[in-house]
Structure 1
């Protein structure tokens, strides 16, 4: 048996260079590269290995460990999980910074390989710089925090352990039913230790991503259920994209005249103006999808995790005769809501179901309801896109949240009268069919799911499994790496931008242009709406100076020049306060070759509110506020109407 003497770090890099995936007969390299922030826990281990021979791996220099890992998530998500990046950090704070990103990857079922440095396996010297000492257990380090957020976790305390760890890492990273964050902790002494690795460990491995077929019995159960139902609705989940099943999904819907709603992950698999596309569904759903959902007698969920936003806290499907059919490659998700289970690849299952339902000439009983709902949705989107602030005659859904004194104060500070819905309307008009939008948190994902018209397939990239603030800008770099020939637009609020935009300068360094659309309302707007809508006032959610008299954060708004911030990195920037300025900025940004940032001053509380939906949140059962008492009564009523499993 021929052997090769390498350090653990060198062997790991050599192994990663020889991993491939095959899907539908197409083979591609699986690990595109590695994001790095070097410190004493990895620079002379993995760093030395990469300097000596990185192979085909592209090495990127991150600015923040969480930020670069978000870029890796954005890349893998845009690549439909068929190609990934690894991320390496030092011991301690560098590793801890990646835990949030690992949680984001796992919540969204996106494969990312985390390679944090670790404390000495020999425990000599102890304690090393940045080491956490647990008096009751010396085997614990910062990296143990990854266990709760990883789909596979391992620590390499001996060189030969690398081989089984790597094989198992690939098993999970390429498993469509069980993928997510994979963490291999690398003690800094072990990284440099040498071992005689068998040559076969470095052979080319092709991991075939199989289309798992549904069993005959599963299909029979599904056909029996569908055949009894008159008003079904489909849910297009992220699994439709990852399985590359959009064509099969669309054919199924068309053949049997079944309308569909979209989850955040599934939106954009099929363009917005398809006659059966009702738009987003659930708490942040559209007027059309939520109208049909109330009456449906069968929910056919395809590749969805059924989050509380998708089901409107298990409340939106009000028909007492409603049943669930769950088509999902993951048995865990197929079992949700006590539905009939088809545990299979989405495309494979839909193709067989189409054949079997065609044999019995199945058709839904919808007549004009779908078209009526679509027409009302179009009119509603046109309406909110046109809303402008005049001081009166505002959108009814927004009126309950408006404080005109706040609007006047904001206008005085910024000079802007722009509403959020109007801004989105202008952007939707100006962005092209191939332009990709990226988002994650705050009020923007809700507005975008409700009214954004995805004109091109797979141009809507939203992280809403973890709703992680700070994902937006950083993931956009990963999206651009995945789709270098398309324009990428980050939709981000001021709060999320301030929380984390570390890879914006990395985009400059890499010459990978992204366009940041920053909506500044000087508020954590989404949560401000949540508290006001549930009987509270604006408490701790607006960005205000601490008042010298009251001692509270209720002074004037804190203005920030975000354009100046981005310009310091080398971005082309714009400050926008009017529709004309917005249009001019977007048009000019398209001509640029460097990353851009458009700082849009947007009136607070002018986002779009819910359509026929409800979201269950914890509300005080006892309160001195009459408003909160009334909200609690409503919540208890809705809980009684919701499904309990």
Structure 2
């Protein structure tokens, strides 16, 4: 059979170069490259191997281990899970930094391969630099923290273990029903140890992504339920996007007159202007989708995990006779909501269901309800997009109740830009000036709600939202990953000042790699989404705004802390703009489009001017006992909604 003597790290690099994906007959390389920050736990092992012979792998230098791994997650997500980057770090803090990104990947079912360095397998020099010692278990290292946030975990303590570890890693990374983060911990001494690896370990491996059909009995059970229902609603989840089933979903909806609501992950699997697309559904959903969801007697979930935001914490679907059909590649997710499960590829299952329903002549009983719901929402969108301070009345009510926040902000910055108006202007510009040929990305704060409700995507896969983990700091790192996946498109990261301060290191990497991204920074002086959450549930503003300390009260409730984000990013080498008016916003967007370097537009946004509500409830913890009447009332309200919610 023949062997070749290589170090563990050299064998790993050679193996990674020979992994391929085949989907719908198209074959492509699976592993694009390696993001790396080198330290004493990987530079002389995997670093040496990558320097000596990287093969076709692109080696990219990260600036923060979490940041580069989040970029890898976004790259895989934008590639619909069919191409990935690996990430390598040193031991200790470098490895620990990637744990958050592993959680992001696993929560979203996105494949990413993490290769953290580890302490010595021999333990002879212990404790080495950055080693965490456990007096009752010497085998535990920082990398054990990955176990809670990975779909597969292994530690290679001998060179020959690499083969089994990597075959299992590829099994999970290419899985359609159980993918996520994979961690292969690599002790630094083992990385450099040599072994006679068999040549067959390095053969070209083609991992087929199948379109599995559902079992005939599952299809039959689902059909029996569907034909009894008059007012079904489809929920389009991320599985539709990864299956590339958008056209089949539209065909299915048209054939049987069934409206569609979108999750964050599913949004832009079909175009926003499709006649049966109601838009976002759930807690961050819009009025049209939620109105239909309230009265629907059947929910057909296609490729969705039914998170609390999608289901309104299981309270949104209020028809007492509502049932569920769950179409999902994962048996685990197909069991959600106690649904009638259809396990298989989204496109294949829709074809199966559609063929039978067509023979039976099934149609929903909707008449004018869909158009009426959409019209109500269109009127609300027009209002949200045209708000001017102080001329127009603000919604949600919390903004009106806290007029002082707006006046204080305006006094400091001289800006009176409502968030919804700005979102509308940006959406209009990108659709008109770029003909919809762009990608917008977001993750956390109030922007995901505004974007799921308000954003219109005229082209498929132009909306990229990480909302499974809602990880603050994903936005800019993710924009880099998206740009690597779609180098010919303009990429726009929609990020709040809170998320920007969490993590923006890969803005520098984008400049270094000459991969232009555009950062649209919404500065409202704090963690605005959570500030709204606490105040809407009876609390005062506490610890969620960026304010100077009031020494007399020993609290952070003095004046806002002004930050010049444009000046900061200018120092990195980005082209920057500060925006306080709509005209300045339009000019900045136009100029940024023509730049060749990464840009940042620092938009000063009035606090508390985001969207809110629209008939959905979010189950959050509220104090059962409090000396504040408003919190007591919030608890009573919570209990009322909770009593109406499904229990599983």
Identify whether the pair has TM-score above 0.5, normalized to the shorter chain. yes
Structure 1 counterpart of 2:350: 350
Structure 2: runs of 5+ lacking an equivalent: none
Structure 2 counterpart of 1:196: 196
Say whether the 8 Å CA contact 1:515–1:595 is kept in structure 2.
yes
Say whether the 8 Å CA contact 2:398–2:536 is kept in structure 1.
no
Q: Secondary structure at 1:191's aligned position in 2?
A: helix
Q: Secondary structure at 2:583's aligned position in 1?
A: helix
Say whether the 8 Å CA contact 1:401–1:529 is kept in structure 2.
no
Give the distance between the partners of 1:442 and 1:342, measured in 2 at CA. 34
Deviation at residue 399 of structure 1 after TM alignment: 4.5
Say whether the 8 Å CA contact 1:398–1:608 is kept in structure 2.
no
Structure 1 counterpart of 2:393: 394
Structure 2 counterpart of 1:534: 537
Structure 2 counterpart of 1:443: 446
Give the distance between the partners of 2:101 and 2:608, measured in 1 at CA. 29
Structure 2 counterpart of 1:494: 497
Structure 1 counterpart of 2:414: 415
Corresponding position: 1:581 with 2:584: yes
Q: Secondary structure at 1:349's aligned position in 2?
A: helix
Deviation at residue 406 of structure 1 after TM alignment: 1.6
**Residue among 551, 555, 576 paired with 1:552:** 555
Say whether the 8 Å CA contact 2:395–2:609 is kept in structure 1.
no
> Counterparts of 1:136-155 in structure 2 under 5 Å?
136-155=136-155
> Counterparts of 1:174-189 in structure 2 under 5 Å?
174-189=174-189
Q: Secondary structure at 1:316's aligned position in 2?
A: coil
Give the distance between the partners of 1:206 and 1:225, measured in 2 at CA. 39
- Superposed CA deviations along residues 383-433 of structure 1, whole A, max 9, x for unmatched, are 10111111x642342445641222111111101000000100100110131
Structure 2 counterpart of 1:483: 486
Structure 2 counterpart of 1:427: 426
Structure 2 counterpart of 1:282: 282
Quick one: structure 1 residues 49 and 401, their matched pair in 2 at CA, closer, same or farther if it must change by over 3 Å?
Answer: farther
Corresponding position: 1:109 with 2:109: yes
Deviation at residue 523 of structure 1 after TM alignment: 1.3
Say whether the 8 Å CA contact 1:384–1:395 is kept in structure 2.
no
Which deviates the most, 287-296 or 548-557?
Answer: 548-557
Structure 2 counterpart of 1:205: 205
Q: Secondary structure at 2:600's aligned position in 1?
A: strand
> Counterparts of 1:509-524 in structure 2 under 5 Å?
509-524=512-527
Give the distance between the partners of 1:233 and 1:131, measured in 2 at CA. 53
The alignment of Structure 1 onto Structure 2 pairs a total of residues equal to 644
Give the distance between the partners of 1:89 and 1:399, measured in 2 at CA. 45
Give the distance between the partners of 1:252 and 1:556, measured in 2 at CA. 55
Structure 2 counterpart of 1:375: 375
Which deviates the most, 369-378 or 579-588?
Answer: 369-378
Give the distance between the partners of 1:501 and 1:612, measured in 2 at CA. 35
Give the distance between the partners of 1:399 and 1:163, measured in 2 at CA. 58
Q: Secondary structure at 1:427's aligned position in 2?
A: helix
Which deviates the most, 139-148 or 267-276?
Answer: 267-276
| TM-score of the superposed pair, with normalisation by structure 2 | 0.99
Give the distance between the partners of 1:127 and 1:35, measured in 2 at CA. 27
- Superposed CA deviations along residues 180-234 of structure 1, whole A, max 9, x for unmatched, are 0000000000000000000000000000011111111011011100000000000
Structure 2 counterpart of 1:16: 16
Give the distance between the partners of 2:151 and 2:392, measured in 1 at CA. 51
- Superposed CA deviations along residues 535-591 of structure 1, whole A, max 9, x for unmatched, are 011111110000132221111000000001111111000000000000000001000
Q: Secondary structure at 2:114's aligned position in 1?
A: strand
> Counterparts of 1:321-336 in structure 2 under 5 Å?
321-336=321-336
Give the distance between the partners of 1:635 and 1:483, measured in 2 at CA. 44
Corresponding position: 1:620 with 2:644: no
Give the distance between the partners of 2:552 and 2:169, measured in 1 at CA. 58
Q: Secondary structure at 1:372's aligned position in 2?
A: helix
Which deviates the most, 546-555 or 297-306?
Answer: 546-555
Deviation at residue 60 of structure 1 after TM alignment: 0.2
Structure 2 counterpart of 1:403: 402
Give the distance between the partners of 1:473 and 1:62, measured in 2 at CA. 13
| TM-score of the superposed pair, with normalisation by structure 1 | 0.99
Compute the RMSD of aligned alpha carbons.
0.8
Structure 2 counterpart of 1:631: 634
Q: Secondary structure at 1:310's aligned position in 2?
A: helix
Give the distance between the partners of 1:401 and 1:527, measured in 2 at CA. 17
Give the distance between the partners of 1:99 and 1:193, measured in 2 at CA. 26
Which deviates the most, 404-413 or 112-121?
Answer: 404-413
Say whether the 8 Å CA contact 1:10–1:49 is kept in structure 2.
yes
> Counterparts of 1:598-613 in structure 2 under 5 Å?
598-613=601-616
Deviation at residue 108 of structure 1 after TM alignment: 0.3
